[in-house]
Structure 1
Amino acid sequence: MHGHVNPTLGVVEELVRRGHRVSYAVTEDFVHQVKAAGAEPVLYPDAGDGSDAPEDMGEGFARVVEVALAALPALTRAFGRDRPDLVLCDIYAFAGLLLGARWQVPTVVASPTHLAYDGIVPEFFGVPGLPQLPGFARLAAAFADHGVEAARIQDLVRPEHAVAFFPRTFQRRADTVAAQRVAYVGPALGDRSYQGSWRPPRPDVPVLLVSLGSQFTRRPEFYRSCVQAFAELPWHVVMSVGAVPPDGLGPLPANVEVHPHVPQLAVLAHADAFVTHAGMGGTMEALYYGVPLVAVPQMAEQRVNAARIEHLRLGVHLPRESVTPEALREAVLRVSSDRDIRAGVSAMRREIAAAGGAAAAADLIERAL
């Protein structure tokens, strides 16, 4: 998923710049991005069926387990004679966690979302603990089949080393995080020029970006509400709508441009507000550029982010069941003019600038070697 690969690419660039050889296990969809960052792609099969990610995170966990188990044979073959010195694995990359334990090499957890805190499993997944998650028993059996104690799955909850791609202030219940050594590095933005460029058609008109990320884009009714909400505003609106046909959104006013995908960093560099699903990646990218947020979360993890956005005065939380053209318009006008929100965004932008980004992440990885 883009929200799990994109945050790591700047770190890959930094590690390569420092002279490290980086192999990156990905599906075919991310080969171009990984090569552009300087890593060697190591392909594993895409076990997905092309459907949207489930809103229920328990179901999503079971799917991630199946992806990991399907990837194990290809990754075992690929690294059989080229064993790494360290494994940097996503917080849901169970294949990387298993192989790192099997090879007895250091493992660093890369977390594009909140590190495990007291209460995360009930809040995210709606069950008391990890063993109650669908797919957990199958994952534990796979660890045992490979000669690794199932207890090592807990390394994702209590890792020895972890890189978090957001500032500590944004971490939910940071004082309860069990990771031993954490680098809260903020967004580690790398070169995204391969995505293309974008400039506003007029320098004197505020810019609004609308995007629900890469996983929850099949929301034509939401995009139609956005068109109605912003048609009469003196703003230029850029909408990223995935596979939704633009002609299904009704007549588009002159101030609205619609694309399947946009070069998000290039647009955010000029944006004055961002209507977002509140995924961590997009949230941090917006705050890096000092852009206030209207958070319209689509699932539990994003609702946690939306609550943090509102609590920290970085924007407003607009529950999707409350979305109307009027509510969207009011929220955008508020976040773009509210002094408290402006101050909150400025404070977070300063914290992000001081967090260290890719260089701080690479420092922790080198210490773990």
Structure 2
Amino acid sequence: MRVLFSSLASYGHTYPMVPLARAALAQGHEVVFTTGAQFLPALRELGLGTAAVGMSIPEGYAAAGAGERRPEPGSEAWKKLMTQVFAGELPRRFAVDLQPVLAATEPDLVVHEAGNHGAGIAAARAGIPGVCHGFGLVAPDDFGDFGPTLRAVAAEFGVELPAGELRALGNPFLDVAPKSLQESELAVQRIPLRPVPFAEPGELPPVGGTRPLIYLTLGTAFGDAEVLGRAVSGLAELDADVLVAAGPTVEPAALGELPANVSVHSWLPQAELLGRVDLIVHHGGSGTMLAAAAAGLPQLLLPRGADQFRNAAAVAELGAGTELLGADVTTANVRDAAEALLGGAQHRRVARELAAEIAAMPSPESVAERLPEFAR
């Protein structure tokens, strides 16, 4: 069987699909992964076929006329911009670019991630069955113009989308979120899929001492030197060692002179690191949040944008961590919250229970065995 995977060109959208793509390849299927060109070398290293399609999310914002200053998350202006980008510019470009790839590869099934509606539209136009792969919690269905905008884009390609909500385009949904965190339901077939962290391999710095180890990251897209600096200052006051992944948007030098218990790196192999730390402090991105949950770690979440506020609220409500929002992200608050999580038996117990729930979800290998059920 030939299977085509397609994601937006983003770590948080691409890497959650890699474990299933690798499992399908290991079971003898032909697999082609289509996304932004910057991810193709790493995917080819895994033995996957590749093709570059679509535009990046920043290019989507630019095409929608957005500047560097973005509207306040949750505001009407923000919802309008999200609709323009994720229901308009991105799906239109992906649907255009994917059509010749589908014609050349003739897949039996297209697995598109939940943010890449354009791949689902292109598959429907070509008459190829689709499966929607989640990357985190299901987004709320409250964007008033999202549905009409996406339907209009689909109509440009001669595709009539199904009635009702369109978060999975009516396709079966591979849900990587454990039920205790997943608030929304979809009116489609739901197939649980264990979230398995993936990161490009790398060398870990020396870790493992007598003190607790804290890992701090604001991810790959929402790094902010000022916020990261306040978090570093707070964590440095604890009797703990602190590993910081500054990410591609923050230069480590921007954090200035650091205490002896803090080590800053541009990038760290997160999937390998999480099993060795005692606490994670992060932005609330879906991939990091689910990877930390799978590792049984208590989490201190400092959401910055996108789906991060929803993720932070879900973890805090469950009791597997706490969140600090906006102006509350101060040196003192980060220090106090981290100290409470390191010493809090209740949060650690809930985090372990969440990890056990995730471990019981079907593996990528078992879900890959089911993919022929959905193919043409």
TM surpasses 0.5: yes
Name segments (4+ residues, structure 1) moved above 6 Å.
50-53
Counterpart AA for 1:92: G
The 2-side partners of 1:222 and 1:152 are apart by 43
How much does 1:8 deviate? Answer: 0.7
Task: Give the corresponding residue for 1:70.
Answer: 93
If the length of structure 2 is used for normalisation, what is the TM-score?
0.86
CA distance in 2, matches of 1:250, 1:292: 28
- Structure 1 residues 201-220: aligned runs within 5 Å: 201-217=207-223, 219-220=224-225
Aligned with residue 273 of structure 2, among 267, 284, 289? 267
Structure-2 residue corresponding to 1:83: 106
Alignment counterpart, residue 347 of structure 2, candidates 337, 341, 349? 341
Identity of aligned residues (%): 24
Gaps of 5+ in 1: none
Which secondary structure state, in structure 1, belongs to the residue aligned with residue 30 of structure 2? coil
Quick one: which of 5, 10, 18 aligns to 2:27? 18
Query: By how many angstroms is 1:356 displaced?
Result: 2.1
Show the counterpart of 2:359: 353
1:308-355 Cα offsets, whole Å, 9 max, x none, are: 111211111111320111100111111122111111011111111110
| 1:60 maps to which of 82, 86, 94 | 82
Match of 2:190 in 1: 182
Aligned length: 351
State the secondary structure of the residue aligned to 2:133: strand
Determine the C-alpha separation between the residues in 2 that align with 1:75 and 1:361.
25
How big is each residue's C-alpha offset from its partner over 1:106-133, in whole Å with a ceiling of 9 and x where there is no partner? 21101112235xxx133xxxx4x3xx23
2:332 maps to what in 1? 326
CA displacement, residues 208-258 of structure 1 (integer Å, 9 cap, x when unaligned): 1111111101x1111111222122322111112223222222211111111
Deviation at 1:268, TM superposition (A): 1.1
The aligned counterpart of 1:105 is 128
User: Of the candidates 125, 143, 152, which is equivalent to residue 141 of structure 1?
Assistant: 152
1:186–1:284 CA contact under 8 A, matched in 2: no
CA separation of 1:157 and 1:339: change in aligned 2, threshold 3 A: same
Residue equivalent to 2:47: 38
Name the structure 1 match of 2:178.
167
Going from structure 1 to structure 2, the CA distance change for 1:207 and 1:181 (only over 3 Å counts) comes to same
- Structure 1 356/157 Cα, relative in aligned 2: closer, same or farther at 3 Å? closer
Match of 2:295 among 289, 296, 320: 289
Residue aligning to 1:94: 117
Amino acid at match of 1:91: A
**For the structure 1 residues 327 and 229, does the alpha-carbon distance in structure 2 shift closer, same or farther, using more than 3 Å as the test?**
same
Give the one of 298, 304, 319 matched to 2:304.
298
> SS where residue 121 of structure 1 aligns?
coil
Q: 1:298 to 1:151 in 2, by over 3 A?
A: same
Unaligned runs of 5+ in 2: 1-9
Partner SS for 1:5: helix
- The question of 1:310 aligning with 2:321 is answered no
What displacement does 1:298 show?
Answer: 1.4
CA distance in 1 between counterparts of 2:312 and 2:101 reads: 40
Per the alignment, residue 3 of structure 2 pairs with none
Note the alpha carbon deviations across 1:145-172, whole angstroms, 9 max, x for none. 2221144794434634111112122101
Say which SS state the counterpart of residue 105 (structure 1) adopts.
coil
Task: Establish whether residue 121 from structure 1 lines up as the match of residue 127 from structure 2.
Answer: no
Task: Using the TM superposition, give the Cα deviation of residue 82 of structure 1 relative to its aligned residue in structure 2, in angstroms.
Answer: 2.3
* Cα distance between partner residues in 2 of 1:201 and 1:52: 37
**CA distance in structure 1 between the partners assigned to 2:164 and 2:47 by the alignment:** 30
C-alpha RMSD of matched pairs (Å): 2.3
Give deviations 1:270-306, integer Å, cap 9, x for gaps. 1111111111210111121111100111136222211
Report the 3-state secondary structure (helix = DSSP H, G, I; strand = E; otherwise coil) of the residue aligned with 1:308. Answer: helix
